Amino acid sequence: MNNKRAYFYGVFSVVLVCANLVVAQTATSTPPVAGQQASEVGMLTRAQWLKKIGDSAKNADIAREVMKQVVASEKVEFTQRLLKAITRMPLSPEEKLASIIQASIACMASTPLKNDERYKVIAEVLAVVPVEYLPGLTEALSKRFSPKLNKLTTAQYKAMAEATVKISVERNKSTEDQAVRNTFVVLLFLKGTTPEETPGLQALLMDKLPDSSRELATRWIEEALKGNYEPMLTAADAGTPVLPPPPGVQRVGVAQMELLLSDMGGLTGSFGGAIRLNVSSSGGEGVDIFRLGDIGIQSVPRRPRGYPNQGDSL
């Protein structure tokens, strides 16, 4: 009887000790940060998203979806690798610019504002894109940065611009053309508004630039606001600036041109069919006015579509 009682107490003691250990471990474990567990669900590992860079470079929709599944701490690296992949693709300069614009918008739109993550992505875009593409990229993005389009107050727009310039100045310390790139960041926000809409913006942002480049940046901005980017590109030893095609013009590639020529020669195919093919291939409205398989050998008038992604806000 005593043996049974001793055995019972022994088992009970072991169970009690185990239960106390579990309770203690639960009590001392660090609780997850609010929203952290949910944000990790469905996220891609670095190895997984690295495999998707190629497809993302070819298709902005894929880039947008992949970017949403990249953890916050790796979004800047994804943006960098994506843009570098695009710049290495065998595209015409105009096509490459269109792809850069698409990818940049996808990365920015898929990055939350929390902890300045989106501002870091914006800074990375202007830090890695080749300088000759920055005039066209700045022109396209600045329209999306409009405080009216994004329903921002003057104070909110200034705060956004100031935070981005600060981050960019720090980021561009490791680039070869830091003064030029910092100036393009300032231009990005100046071109998105007017002095009447956002008074004092230029002075606020210029104050964030290093003293050594502020005077030079002032002269560059004065010319750039007139549409002259030559002084900035010359300072960076960059090539001819790449700009979007003029409104009302759409580039047409080899396949579409053959259809147009065959129609003119009385062969098979039709002008209407070529136009339908061109529109359907381009994906309709938005920045997808160039396709990766379209080398852009000709231009034909088209219905004006405005600037890339018109109507979309950040």
pLDDT tens, residue by residue, 35-79: 333 346 679 999 999 999 999 999 999 999 999 999 999 999 999
Is the residue at 47 inside a domain?
yes
Q: Which of 7-11, 40-44, 117-121, 205-209 has the lowest mean pLDDT?
A: 7-11
Is the residue at 64 inside a domain?
yes
If asked whether residues 177 and 195 sit together in one domain, one would say yes
Is the residue at 96 inside a domain?
yes
Q: Which domain holds residue 271?
A: 249-301
CB-based contacts of 232, cutoff 8 Å, min separation 6: 131, 180, 183, 184, 220, 223, 224
If asked whether residues 126 and 229 sit together in one domain, one would say yes
Q: Which of 111, 135, 158 is the last residue of a domain?
A: 111
Q: When comparing pLDDT for 106 and 269, which is higher? A: 106
Is the residue at 9 inside a domain?
no
If asked whether residues 63 and 164 sit together in one domain, one would say no
If asked whether residues 141 and 171 sit together in one domain, one would say yes
Q: pLDDT exceeding 90 applies to what percent of the chain? A: 60
Query: Cα(121)–Cα(116) distance, rounded to whole angstroms?
Result: 9
Instruction: State the pLDDT at residue 281.
Output: 38
If asked whether residues 70 and 98 sit together in one domain, one would say yes
Please determine, for residue 129, whether its predicted confidence score (pLDDT) is greater than 70: yes
Range picked from 146-160, 237-251, 254-268, 291-305 for highest mean pLDDT: 146-160
Q: When comparing pLDDT for 195 and 262, which is higher? A: 195
If asked whether residues 222 and 254 sit together in one domain, one would say no
If asked whether residues 105 and 122 sit together in one domain, one would say no
Instruction: State the pLDDT at residue 239.
Output: 87
If asked whether residues 220 and 288 sit together in one domain, one would say no
If asked whether residues 233 and 164 sit together in one domain, one would say yes
Report the mean per-residue pLDDT for the chain. 76
Q: When comparing pLDDT for 80 and 27, which is higher? A: 80
Is the residue at 30 inside a domain?
no
CB-based contacts of 309, cutoff 8 Å, min separation 6: 105, 144, 286, 287
Instruction: State the pLDDT at residue 203.
Output: 97
Q: Which of 203, 226, 244 is the last residue of a domain?
A: 244
Instruction: State the pLDDT at residue 137.
Output: 96
If asked whether residues 106 and 228 sit together in one domain, one would say no
Instruction: State the pLDDT at residue 243.
Output: 85
Mean pLDDT of 264-283: 38
Neighbours of 227 (CB within 10 A): 9
Instruction: State the pLDDT at residue 40.
Output: 60
Q: When comparing pLDDT for 314 and 179, which is higher? A: 179
Q: Which amino acid is at 113?
A: L
Q: pLDDT exceeding 70 applies to what percent of the chain? A: 65
Instruction: State the pLDDT at residue 265.
Output: 46
Residue 245's pLDDT band, with cuts at 50, 70 and 90, is low
pLDDT per position as a tens digit, 159-214:
999 999 999 999 999 999 999 999 999 999 999 999 999 999 999 999 999 999 99
Q: When comparing pLDDT for 84 and 267, which is higher? A: 84
Question: Can you state the angle between helices 178-190 and 117-128, rounded to 10 degrees?
Answer: 120
Is the residue at 173 inside a domain?
yes
Is the residue at 84 inside a domain?
yes
Please determine, for residue 9, whether its predicted confidence score (pLDDT) is greater than 90: no
If asked whether residues 70 and 143 sit together in one domain, one would say no
Whether 170 contacts 162, CB under 8 Å: no
Nearest one of 139, 129, 130 to 247, comparing CA atoms = 139
Mean pLDDT of 9-37: 40
Q: Which of 228, 244, 260 is the last residue of a domain?
A: 244
If asked whether residues 119 and 233 sit together in one domain, one would say yes
Q: When comparing pLDDT for 6 and 178, which is higher? A: 178
Q: Specify burial of residue 85 (Cβ count, 10 A radius: 0-12, 13-18, 19+).
A: middle
Domain count, the chain: 3
Is the residue at 153 inside a domain?
yes
Please determine, for residue 134, whether its predicted confidence score (pLDDT) is greater than 90: yes
